Structure 1
Amino acid sequence: MDEGRALRPGWTTGTCAAAATRAAFAALVGGTFPDPVDVALPGGRRPRFALALAEAGAGFARAGIVKDAGDDPDVTHGAVIVATVRPGAPGSGVTFRAGEGVGTVTRPGLPLPVGEPAINPVPRAMIRTAIAEVCGATGASADVVVEIAVPNGAALAQKTLNPRLGIVGGLSILGTTGIVVPFSCAAWIHAIHRGVDVARAAGLDHIAGVTGSTSEAAIAALDGLAEIALVDMGDFVGGLLKYVRVHPVARVTIAGGFAKMTKLSQGLLDLHSRAGEVDLGHLARLAAQAGAPAALVEAIPRANTALEVLQRTQAEGVDIGAVVAARAVETAAALLRGTAVGVDVAVFGRTGALLARTPVTRG
């Protein structure tokens, strides 16, 4: 990617599914595949897509579109989104089916009932609109069965949070605007919200937001938490806490490594490096609070990394993890102030050893 070049947006799986459905349905009722095919987005735009697949036979038509995620590092970039359309029973309306590589909902708490194919509400609405437009132009019946498939989708889904959310067998067909904004992190925030929803629907009263695989394994072992209670928040602790504020659980643990929790102790709610670096001066002040000798306090701002600070304080018997955790839980509790949600912070070392744990605090 050229530096300074504007990032190229892409299209959601929902947009591709709707466009493929429009092409397939047009062929089913009219005998011809429109290529390229256009489709209406929720905001009014009508992008056009070339077909990568066009097949028809007795009682069915099938079309496929290659998903282009633009410059976003989307696991579905390059996947073929396939729609197969068949006549439905009179009066049945549009019925959705999960084909190869599209998951099925198995847990409550998601925006779709258990047993439904994982084709989210906005993509469903886009598909219905595409069908209605063809019906309006041809007079055809809108009683159709739409099957969405993503070849190799089951393997791709293992790189997503779908298995943890209880979506089995493949990917979700997603999108709210129809457009993928590169590096918007919208998909990750969406997954955080759905993780909380699934945990709440299961009746859990304690969830843990984790920054990565090490803290995830460590807090699961420490608190005996089931996988469904573990929310992979990555750097988006603010995204998790803001959602829990409105969709409460009794207790949420924030679990992460020393550097990430140091950032939280600084008041940062986005722990990515783009949002802010570890403030070594802040760590020096916390080390002083923990009783570090003056020479060490003076040396900390010149350290290379947070890990170096941790190692040097540990070598001198200074429990800097405890003061980092205490300050971090203040940041988290402030975001939950006025709610009944309890929050605590667990700080782990690089190998998963517990460095510090706060009591549960209520805002």
Structure 2
Amino acid sequence: MVTKIRRSQHHQQLRKGYTTGACATAAALAALIRIFNANSANTISILLPIGEHAQFDLLHHQVTIDSATVGVIKDAGDDPDCTHGAEIIVTVKLSKQHGIRFFAGKGVATVTLPGLELAVGEPAINPVPRKMIKSHLLPLLAEHDISGVDVTITVPNGEELAKQTIGQRLGLIGGISILGTRGTVHPYSTSAYAASVRQGIQVAAKQNLRKMILTTGSRTEKQAMAIYPQLHPISFIQAGDFIGVGLRASAKYAIESVELVVMIGKLCKLACGSMMTHVTGRPIDFSTLALWLKNHDVNSDIIVQVQQARTGRHLLQLVDSLSCKPAFLTEICRQAAIHSVNYAHHKLIVSVHLIDFDGSTLAQATYGE
């Protein structure tokens, strides 16, 4: 979605859906309720991270004296998501251990390689879904004076669904990940999303704005707005994986400069010349990144590890303690800026701003006239 720009009529006709994380939260809350009331309703309402309430129909599986299992069918709306129609099943079991523990049932992946948001050995239930589930279960646990519960998420067809993703390449083994940061899925076809990026830049140009900030998602946009509070809101475009589209549209509509506010994964792809940064597209060229690192007189063992890295996050971990880290990350930004200027036919000045996962600035570089 292009933030701050009104959706077109075409977008309004598309039906939004819900993330696997939202579905798991609904099923988990319903399961805990059913431990205390086996005849509870067949629908449940939860609060999404974006502040909206959503209601889910429930599939009732089983209830015992200290556990319950409830399922929710994932509805992705009009988004072409491979998990659309999948059943997200959650078993909640009362525990004497304090707090909420998460487990991967059949069809939910386990993290086996470093470089992701979760530690090796953890079930692939991402941080925001975990936070959602906790925020819904903890008040009910306190109300009934229960110390803790074990939450196990199962997706019956998850191992097959995972074959349509790159999860296995990232070390996510055994099924899919439970994902989502907003709770909702906003559907856009590739052409519609690209058209939205172009439209947003055209609107900004008509307002005589000459600097655009292209971000890759809500997290990078939030940080970009904090960095540049003086800029008009329509200067910020969530280009997502369509940075290349945003660059060429900016050149077309006589924007003078563009700043890319990105995180390490997308940045590495841009730095190696890939202007389409979707996870299903061209992978990160870690061999090229390792060559740039060689210029900083780094131990050969680190070079080999960088060549074999799996994700941008993993790359950051590998270089974190190196004295050349700032210079190396600046070089990646510079290479991304050079490719971006070339892609925009040298009609723009491009700055690249790398932010860390906590929002802090790691490096930046500018290229162009």
Q: Same fold (TM over 0.5)?
A: yes
**Gap regions ≥5 residues in structure 1:** 201-205, 232-244, 256-260, 268-326, 344-360
Counterpart CA distance in 2 for 1:214 and 1:62 is 34
Counterpart CA distance in 1 for 2:60 and 2:347 is 52
Q: For residue 35 of structure 2, what is the amino acid of its counterpart?
A: L
CA deviation after TM superposition for structure 1 residue 25, in Å = 0.8
Higher relative contact order (CA 8 A, sep 6+): 2
CA deviation after TM superposition for structure 1 residue 112, in Å = 1.6
1:167 to 159, 163, 172: 172
**2:153 is the counterpart of 1:148:** yes
Structure 1 pair 342/332, CA: closer, same or farther in 2 (3 Å)?
Answer: farther
**2:19 is the counterpart of 1:12:** yes
SS in 2 for 1:118: coil
CA deviation after TM superposition for structure 1 residue 95, in Å = 0.3
Contact 1:102 1:117 survives alignment (8 Å): yes
2:352 to 333, 336, 340: 336
Contact 1:208 1:253 survives alignment (8 Å): no
What is the percentage of aligned positions where both structures have the same residue?
A: 34
CA deviation after TM superposition for structure 1 residue 266, in Å = 4.7
Alignment match, 1:320: none
Structure 1 pair 195/83, CA: closer, same or farther in 2 (3 Å)?
Answer: farther
**2:126 is the counterpart of 1:120:** yes
User: How large is the Cα RMSD of the aligned pairs?
Assistant: 4.6
Q: How many residues align?
A: 257
Contact 1:24 1:54 survives alignment (8 Å): no
Deviations 1:138-168 (A, max 9, x none): 5241400000111111221222222232222
Alignment match, 2:188: 183
Counterpart CA distance in 1 for 2:273 and 2:311 is 5
CA deviation after TM superposition for structure 1 residue 117, in Å = 0.8
Alignment match, 2:105: 99
Counterpart CA distance in 1 for 2:63 and 2:363 is 57
Query: 1:1-363 counterparts in 2 under 5 A?
Result: 6-57=13-64, 59-91=66-98, 93-135=99-141, 138-183=143-188, 196=265, 209=274, 211=276, 216=282, 228=309, 248=329, 251=332, 265-267=342-344, 334-336=350-352
CA deviation after TM superposition for structure 1 residue 250, in Å = 5.2
Contact 2:79 2:186 survives alignment (8 Å): yes
Counterpart CA distance in 2 for 1:218 and 1:112 is 20
CA deviation after TM superposition for structure 1 residue 6, in Å = 1.8
**Gap regions ≥5 residues in structure 2:** 1-8, 194-216, 219-238, 244-261, 292-303, 313-325, 355-361
Counterpart CA distance in 1 for 2:274 and 2:334 is 6
- Structure number with greater Rg is 1
Counterpart CA distance in 1 for 2:129 and 2:353 is 36
Counterpart CA distance in 2 for 1:63 and 1:133 is 19
Contact 1:24 1:33 survives alignment (8 Å): no
Contact 1:210 1:254 survives alignment (8 Å): no
Counterpart CA distance in 2 for 1:82 and 1:214 is 27
Deviations 1:220-255 (A, max 9, x none): 899999674588xxxxxxxxxxxxx9x937548999
Contact 1:24 1:61 survives alignment (8 Å): yes
